[in-house]
Amino acid sequence: MPARILYVDDEDDIREIAQMSLELEPEFEVRSCSSGAEALTDAAAWHPDLILLDVMMPDMDGPETLKRLAASPLTASIPVAFITARTQTHQVERYLTMGAVGVIAKPFDPLALAGEVRKLLSERPGQA
């Protein structure tokens, strides 16, 4: 069964590149959305195995989206990794303290993205 990946980013071009690069991996089923509010709805309905979440988005940013995902019984168990250009050590530590399972630096390498996601999925307890 393919791993479900939800990619959340307000920038259309980045979202499109990420989705295309992740879809090159036959073991992934990928959906994307453009806002934190959409992510809350899509995650509750689709139950992805991993959410890749942009940190800086209008209206509801990544950290606020993560907080709301964690507060809902429908989505609290879904692991979230941030995708961000803000990757200084103290920032990464803050994201991990918030409950993120990892941080992928932006701009990401489209050819390496699936491998990074596979690594995040394999680090989860009970996963292959």
> Per residue of the chain (128 residues), what is the pLDDT tens digit?
899 999 999 999 999 999 999 999 999 999 999 999 999 999 999 999 999 999 999 999 999 999 999 999 999 999 999 999 999 999 999 999 999 999 999 999 999 999 999 999 998 655 44
In the prediction, which pLDDT does 124 show?
67
Given a contact cutoff of 8 angstroms between Cβ atoms, the answer to whether 43 and 69 are in contact is: yes
State pTM to two decimals.
0.95
Looking up tokens 């429908």, which residue turns up? 74
Q: How far apart are CA 116 and CA 102, in angstroms?
A: 10
Q: How many CB atoms lie within 10 A of CB 102?
A: 19
What local confidence, expressed as pLDDT, does residue 1 receive? Answer: 87
| Buried b / exposed e along 7-22 (16+ C-beta atoms within 10 A) | bbbbeeebbebbbebb
Are the CB atoms for 8 and 60 separated by under 8 Å?
Answer: no
